[in-house]
Amino acid sequence: MFLKTENVENQRIYNLVDKDFRYAKVLDSFGINFYQYPELTINQVCQIKGVDKNSLLGYRLSLDESFDLDFETLKTSPINLVIEYLKHNHSYFIKNKLPYIKGLISKLDVEDKLYPFFKDLKFIFPLFYEDFVDHILEEEKFIFTHIQNLSRTKVKNTDHAKLFFALKNISLKEIADEHMNEDSEMSGIRGLTKNYSIENIENLHLKVIFQELKDFDQELEIHSDIENNILFPRAVELEEGITEKIRNISFLN
Ligand SMILES: [Fe+2]
Ligand SMILES: [Fe+2]
C-alpha cells in the first residue's frame, strides 16, 4: 500500500492524487471529480458530498487486493475457465477501465502550449477505443465461441459433423499467428506519450491520465499473453485433434 489510510483524510486532494493516482479513481467511483476539489481534504469533500469516508478509504485498500488468477493456475485450468477469465477481463476493460480514462481525457481542457501532443491524444483515443471494442467483439462472438464448440465436441465425443464446415472456414492456427504477431493496440498511444513518461508533466490531471494509460497497457499485455501463450496453443491443439478425428471418421465410412 502506497499510503497508510490513517494519514490521508486530512491531506489535500491534490497532494494525495499526486502521490497515488489511484485516489483519483476512488473519488470518481464515489461521484467526485478530483480536479474540481484540489484544495479540499478527503474529510471535507466527504462531508460536502455526503460520502462515507471509511467506505472511500476501504475502497482504496481493496484496489490493492488482486483477484486475478496467475499464469500458472490458468495454464492448468480447463479451457472454458480460461475463456471465462478472458471475458471477465474484457468486460472490466470495456465497462470500467476505458470509460473512466475516456472521461478523464474528454474533461481535460489543455489550452496549455506545454502539451501540444494532447490534441493528438484526444483525437487518437476514441479511434483506439473503437478498434479495441471491435477486437473484443470478434474474439467473443467468433473465436471464443468456436473454441468452446470444439471443446464441447471433444468432451462429449459427438457432433463432429456440425463442426465440419466451421473447421473448413475458420483456421485457429492462422488466427493465433495473426494475434501473436499483431502490434499492441496501444502502440500509437505509447509513442505519443513517450511511453507514458510523466517526467515533464506538471498538470496533475494529465499525469493521472498517463498513469492510467500505462496501467491499462500493462493489464492488456498480461491479457494478450494469456491469449497467446495459454488459450491459442490449446485451441490449436483442439483444432488439430478434432480435424484428425473427423478425417478418421470419414475414412471409416
Ligand atoms: Fe482479448
Ligand atoms: Fe486479443
pLDDT tens for 149-182 read: 999 998 888 888 888 888 989 999 999 999 999 8
pTM of the predicted model as reported, rounded to 2 decimal places? 0.91
Q: How far is the CA of 1 from the centre of ligand 2 (A)?
A: 31
Ligand lying nearest the CA atom of residue 179: 2
Q: How far is the CA of 120 from the centre of ligand 2 (A)?
A: 25
Q: How far is the CA of 124 from the centre of ligand 1 (A)?
A: 21
User: Letter for the amino acid at 191?
Assistant: G
- Supply 150's cell numbers: 470444439
Q: How far is the CA of 222 from the centre of ligand 2 (A)?
A: 10
Q: How far is the CA of 145 from the centre of ligand 1 (A)?
A: 13
Q: How far is the CA of 189 from the centre of ligand 1 (A)?
A: 19
The residue among 183, 172, 88 whose CA lies nearest residue 136 is 88
Q: Tell me, what's the pLDDT at 252?
A: 66
Query: Which residue is listed with cell 473465436?
Result: 143
Q: Tell me, what's the pLDDT at 109?
A: 80
Q: How far is the CA of 206 from the centre of ligand 2 (A)?
A: 28
Query: Which residue is listed with cell 467506505?
Result: 55
Q: Tell me, what's the pLDDT at 184?
A: 86
Q: Tell me, what's the pLDDT at 4?
A: 53
Average per-residue pLDDT for the chain: 92
Q: How far is the CA of 56 from the centre of ligand 1 (A)?
A: 31
Q: Tell me, what's the pLDDT at 1?
A: 47
Residues of the chain whose pLDDT is less than 50?
1
Angle between the 204-226 and 98-107 helix axes, to the nearest 10 degrees? 160
- φ/ψ of 241, rounded to 5, equals -60, -45
Q: How far is the CA of 179 from the centre of ligand 2 (A)?
A: 7
Q: Tell me, what's the pLDDT at 253?
A: 63
Ligand lying nearest the CA atom of residue 184: 2
Q: How far is the CA of 131 from the centre of ligand 1 (A)?
A: 12
Q: Tell me, what's the pLDDT at 95?
A: 95
Q: Tell me, what's the pLDDT at 198?
A: 94
Ligand lying nearest the CA atom of residue 90: 1
Burial (0-12, 13-18, 19+ Cβ within 10 Å), 170: middle
Alpha helix stretches (DSSP H) within 41-183? 42-49, 53-62, 71-75, 79-92, 98-107, 117-138, 145-156, 160-169, 172-181
Q: How far is the CA of 206 from the centre of ligand 1 (A)?
A: 27
Q: Tell me, what's the pLDDT at 111?
A: 67
Residues 63-97: pLDDT tens digits? 998 778 889 999 999 999 999 999 999 999 999 99
